[in-house]
Structures are given as structure tokens and as C-alpha cells.
């Protein structure tokens, strides 16, 4: 398992918030630059800070990183409108997508989220008024289903009426049968879920049916034998399993009513807009015209799907209930899902080359795994560059992983990769805290028992303009 953390020169393991209040401008900038540098001891770093001012300022110019608490949204309601529908790993804070579309998408007509997840950017695009069409791609069928539901306005009376019918369901035809179903669900839970599923399958209107399938998917997760609040699938302890006795219909009702409330808020705020979420592999040629996109707002995977943020594992049980057979294979197909065979770095990013060499010195296999993510991502950048209009903005929200205790500055690497494909001006990179995001805050770096270190606490929002 990998870890995600920041190490700061001259401040031991001081976190960004510790020096956010620093009044000395130099101390602040020196610390910002050190976000992606290695850890050295206190006395050394103080000396280096004094004599290294010019160097640090240069690095700061290059990274354009700005710590800005205005992007933290500590008190924000992240569950407004249809954003309350279905949780998803590493969701974007809606307020970030909103602020990005307001700052950089004022004149935009088209938005793209190439790694759409649960569709946060698409929902926000549909609330702006000026953005008329949004495209979203994801390889996870559950992500596409959730995004469709979150961006499809529906009649509230019809939803309430249909919910009443579903709640009256007393029968099931057949019980589902997929690998380990009895391990993940108690027998009576399986029967209750099957009754709800049968009633949903009988709904004729596809959009209404999808709405309740998403509520069903949330229910599946909550009533299963899995530990709550985790991305990965872990079963609750035997002791807790004895006490585990969920009321499946009550759970479904509660979730469906919450989602209907969210839809109520959405339909009164949504502007004239066409949302187009699609099941698509962003590594391949995108089904979009060249020079057609005004703004990209996205939070891509960072290459940790196989380890920390397992999108496929998170979605597997729900997908199996919804009838997707190949759900278990999903993680392999996501960016970086298949490790590169050789450490042959053809990508045009000096920072990536330097980092991969450092990792390879410790563990070549891990270096190849990291490389495979960036090779896949490079294919995406070729396509994203093709579809972006001149003058348009590319806004990425990323975190920086640490592999083998080496911090990977994802924001710098991705910026270099875009610049290698086309003409891009780096506008700025905002550094924010992650107050809400469902990210593991502590992690075992090498699966060594008892060795826990802090995981990713910050995100980087980099903005590029195609010129
Ligand atoms: C960080 S999540 C996006 C979360 C999203 N911003 C939200 O608010 O829910 C990254 C997404 O990238 C998707 N992804 C990974 N590899 C992909 C690929 N090759 N093509 C399309 N989507 C991919 C994953 O399935 C995941 O849903």
C-alpha cells in the first residue's frame, strides 16, 4: 500500500496550515517550494533557506503554487441539489467546480469532464446558464448511471408516486447469484433487496427507473456486510455481523426521499443545458470534434486506483446487483491499471523522469507501475489537447501521491505534459486543504504492521490556458 504525504524542509513535518499564518513572506514561499522536495534536518534547512532565496523564488515562479484558504470550503454544504445523490470515491467538492466555472468559464458554452466520476462538474455546468452543453466520460458504469441521474430533471410527484409503489413490493422472482453473495449479504437482506429490485425493473420510464436504481445502489452498500466509510471492500467483524440487522425497505425509503429532495432543489435551479455523460475510455479517441471544448473541469485519478482509491472495488457489489458481470475487472482497465513492462520513459516531462529514477533506485516494479499511469494519461492529454479550443481553460484538481516515500508532484508533471502537447500558459496553481474529502488520512506505507504515516491532506488545482 502506498502513502500520500507532504514533507517540509526546515519545519520537520509541518503541515500547510501550520505555516499558512506565517507573517514572514519569505518563510511562506520557502515552505511552498519545499512541498515537493525531500525532507532534511532543521539546522540544514534554515541555512539553505537563507542562502537559497533566489533559487526558491525561481521554483515558486515555475510552480505558480499559491496557498489559498478560499478554496478550502470548510463550512460549505457539499450536498446541495443532486450533489446529495450517492457517494463516490474522491468526489470533487461542488463549490470547487462552481468557482472554476465562474472564474474561467464565464464565456464558455461547452464543458468537458474526462474523468467524470459521479458527475459533480456536469451538475455545476448545468447550473451556470452560459454553459449550454457538458460532456462527461467515465469507464465505470456506476459513475455513468449516477451522473445521468444527477443531471436529469424529473417530476417530483411522479417520483413520490413511484416510490410508494416500490415500497409495496412483496415478492421477488429469482434471487441474484454472483460470486460470494452470501459473504457480503445476509440471506434475509438478499430477499428484501430482490423485492425492491423487481419493483424497480417493472418501471417503464427509463429515467425514473435509473433514479431508483441509484437509490438502490446506495442501499446495497449500506445494508451489505461491508465496513462503512471505506472505499475498499472489507467485511465487518464476526462480532458486529451478529448484531448487523438492517431494515432494507426503511433504508431504501430514507435514501430515495433524500434523493427526491435533492432533485427538487436541482429542478428549480437548473438552467437550459444539455448534459451528456457517457461510458467511455478516455485513453481512446474521444467522440468529440477538434477545437470544440471551452473549459475542462476535472479531478482525474492520480494513479492510485490499484492501491488507495479503488473505484472498481467501491462499485463492485452495486454493479453486481445491477447486472454488470465484469465489475471485478474494472480497476484493471482504469488509468495505470496494467503496469508497464519496462521502465522506458518516453513522456516529455523532466520532473516525471527525475521522480521515476528516484523511485526506480528503491523499487523498479513500483516505478513501472507509476510510469504506466502516466503513459495512459499521456494518451488522454493528446486527445484533450485536440478537443480544447484556443483561449479555453484546462482546470485540474489533483493530489500528490507518495510512493516509496518519494512525493510525486502530480500537478507539475501534468502541467509539463500538457505543455509538451500544445501551447499552454500556466495561469496558477491553488493549494487547498482537504477538509471533507473521503480520503484515508493515515496509511501504512509499506503494509508494515504498525507503521502509519499521514496521508494526503492537500490538493492542487492547476489552471492552464490554451494559447
Ligand atoms: C477522482 S474520480 C472523479 C470524481 C468526480 N470528480 C466526482 O466528483 O465524483 C476519477 C474517475 O476517473 C475514472 N477513470 C479512470 N480511468 C479512466 C479511463 N481510462 N477512462 C475514463 N474514466 C476513467 C474513474 O472511474 C473515476 O470515476
**pLDDT, averaged in runs of 10, over the chain (467 residues):** 30 29 28 37 30 38 86 94 96 97 98 98 98 97 98 98 98 91 97 98 98 98 92 90 96 98 98 98 96 98 74 92 84 86 93 96 94 96 98 96 93 97 97 64 42 61 98
Is residue 160 one of the residues assigned to a domain? yes
The residue contributing the CA closest to ligand 1 atom 16 is 334
Packing angle, helices 364-387 and 350-362, rounded to 10: 160
Q: Could you give the angle at the alpha carbon of 268 between the alpha carbons of 123 and 296, nearest 5°?
A: 20
Is residue 202 one of the residues assigned to a domain? yes
Please identify, by atom number, the ligand 1 atom nearest to the C-alpha of residue 376: 19
Q: What is the pLDDT of residue 181?
A: 96
Residue 234 structural domain = 154-269
Give residues with Cβ within 8 angstroms of 215, minimum separation 6. Answer: 252, 255, 256, 259
- Taking residue 239's Cβ as centre, other Cβ atoms within 10 Å add up to 8
Single pTM value for the model: 0.86
Please identify, by atom number, the ligand 1 atom nearest to the C-alpha of residue 380: 19
For residue 95 and ligand 1, the question of a CB distance below 6 A is answered with: no
Name the domain count of the chain: 1
Rounded to the nearest whole angstrom, what is the distance from the C-alpha of residue 184 to the centroid of ligand 1?
Answer: 25
Q: What is the pLDDT of residue 158?
A: 98
Helices (H), 129-247: 141-150, 156-167, 181-184, 187-201, 206-223, 238-243
The residue contributing the CA closest to ligand 1 atom 2 is 117
Please identify, by atom number, the ligand 1 atom nearest to the C-alpha of residue 301: 10
For residue 283 and ligand 1, the question of a CB distance below 6 A is answered with: yes
Sheet bearing 133-138, strands edge to edge: 65-67, 424-433, 458-466, 388-398, 293-298, 110-113, 133-138, 274-279
Is residue 216 one of the residues assigned to a domain? yes
Please identify, by atom number, the ligand 1 atom nearest to the C-alpha of residue 309: 1
Is residue 454 one of the residues assigned to a domain? no
Rounded to the nearest whole angstrom, what is the distance from the C-alpha of residue 191 to the centroid of ligand 1?
Answer: 32
For residue 277 and ligand 1, the question of a CB distance below 6 A is answered with: no
For residue 340 and ligand 1, the question of a CB distance below 6 A is answered with: no
Is residue 219 one of the residues assigned to a domain? yes
Helices and strands (H and E) in the chain: how many: 18, 12
Q: Assign residue 166 a region (left: φ > 0; alpha: ψ between -120 and 50; beta: otherwise).
A: alpha
For residue 139 and ligand 1, the question of a CB distance below 6 A is answered with: yes
Element (H, E) at 403: strand 402-403
Rounded to the nearest whole angstrom, what is the distance from the C-alpha of residue 467 to the centroid of ligand 1?
Answer: 27
For residue 311 and ligand 1, the question of a CB distance below 6 A is answered with: yes
Is residue 240 one of the residues assigned to a domain? yes
Please identify, by atom number, the ligand 1 atom nearest to the C-alpha of residue 143: 27
For residue 281 and ligand 1, the question of a CB distance below 6 A is answered with: yes
Residue 112, phi then psi, degrees to nearest 5: -130, 135
Residue 460, phi then psi, degrees to nearest 5: -120, 125
Q: What is the pLDDT of residue 307?
A: 63
Q: What is the pLDDT of residue 341?
A: 86
For residue 100 and ligand 1, the question of a CB distance below 6 A is answered with: no
The residue contributing the CA closest to ligand 1 atom 21 is 138
Nearest CA to 208 out of 176, 252, 256, 172 is that of 256
Is residue 297 one of the residues assigned to a domain? no
Is residue 80 one of the residues assigned to a domain? no
Amino acid at each position: 500500500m502506498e502513502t500520500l504525504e507532504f514533507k517540509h524542509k526546515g519545519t520537520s513535518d509541518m503541515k500547510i496550515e501550520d505555516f499558512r499564518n506565517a507573517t514572514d513572506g519569505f518563510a511562506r514561499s520557502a515552505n511552498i517550494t519545499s512541498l515537493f522536495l525531500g525532507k532534511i534536518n532543521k539546522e540544514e534547512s534554515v541555512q539553505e533557506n537563507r542562502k537559497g532565496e533566489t533559487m526558491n523564488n525561481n521554483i515558486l515562479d515555475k510552480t505558480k503554487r499559491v496557498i489559498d484558504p478560499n478554496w478550502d470550503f470548510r463550512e460549505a454544504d457539499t450536498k446541495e441539489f443532486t450533489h446529495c445523490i450517492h457517494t463516490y470515491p474522491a468526489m470533487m467538492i461542488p463549490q470547487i467546480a462552481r468557482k472554476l466555472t465562474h472564474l474561467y468559464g464565464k464565456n464558455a458554452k461547452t464543458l468537458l469532464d474526462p474523468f467524470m466520476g459521479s458527475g459533480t462538474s456536469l451538475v455545476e455546468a448545468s447550473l451556470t446558464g452560459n454553459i449550454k452543453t457538458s460532456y462527461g466520460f467515465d469507464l465505470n458504469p456506476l459513475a455513468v448511471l449516477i451522473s445521468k441521474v444527477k443531471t436529469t430533471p424529473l417530476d417530483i410527484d411522479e417520483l413520490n408516486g413511484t416510490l410508494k409503489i416500490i415500497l409495496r413490493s412483496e415478492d421477488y422472482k429469482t434471487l441474484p447469484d454472483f460470486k460470494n453473495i452470501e459473504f457480503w449479504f445476509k440471506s434475509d437482506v438478499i430477499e428484501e433487496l430482490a423485492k425492491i429490485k423487481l419493483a424497480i425493473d417493472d418501471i417503464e420510464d427509463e429515467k425514473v427507473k435509473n433514479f431508483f436504481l441509484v437509490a438502490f445502489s446506495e442501499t446495497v452498500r449500506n445494508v451489505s456486510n461491508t465496513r462503512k466509510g471505506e472505499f475498499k471492500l472489507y467485511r465487518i467483524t464476526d462480532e458486529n455481523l451478529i448484531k448487523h440487522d438492517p431494515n432494507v425497505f426503511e433504508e431504501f425509503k430514507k435514501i430515495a426521499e433524500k434523493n427526491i429532495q435533492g432533485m427538487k432543489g436541482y429542478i428549480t435551479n437548473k438552467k437550459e443545458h444539455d448534459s451528456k455523460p457517457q461510458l467511455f475510455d478516455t485513453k481512446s479517441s474521444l467522440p468529440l470534434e477538434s477545437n470544440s471544448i471551452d473549459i475542462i473541469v476535472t479531478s482525474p485519478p492520480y494513479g492510485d486506483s490499484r492501491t488507495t482509491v479503488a473505484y472498481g472495488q467501491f462499485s463492485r457489489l452495486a454493479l453486481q446487483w445491477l447486472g454488470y458481470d465484469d465489475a471485478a475487472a474494472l480497476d484493471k482497465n482504469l488509468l495505470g491499471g496494467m503496469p508497464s513492462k519496462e521502465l522506458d520513459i518516453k513522456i516529455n516531462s523532466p520532473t516525471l523522469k527525475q521522480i521515476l529514477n528516484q523511485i526506480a533506485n528503491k523499487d523498479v516494479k513500483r516505478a513501472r507501475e507509476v510510469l504506466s499511469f502516466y503513459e495512459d494519461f499521456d494518451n488522454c492529454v493528446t486527445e484533450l489537447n485536440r478537443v480544447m479550443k484556443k483561449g479555453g481553460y484546462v482546470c485540474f484538481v489533483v493530489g500528490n501521491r507518495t510512493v516509496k516515500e518519494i512525493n510525486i508532484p502530480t500537478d507539475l508533471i501534468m502541467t509539463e505534459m500538457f505543455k509538451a502537447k500544445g501551447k499552454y500558459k500556466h495561469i496558477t496553481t491553488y493549494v487547498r486543504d482537504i477538509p471533507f474529502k473521503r480520503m484515508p488520512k493515515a496509511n501504512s506505507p509499506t503494509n508494515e504492521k504498525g507503521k502509519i504515516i499521514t496521508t494526503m491532506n492537500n490538493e492542487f488545482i492547476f489552471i492552464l490556458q490554451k494559447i
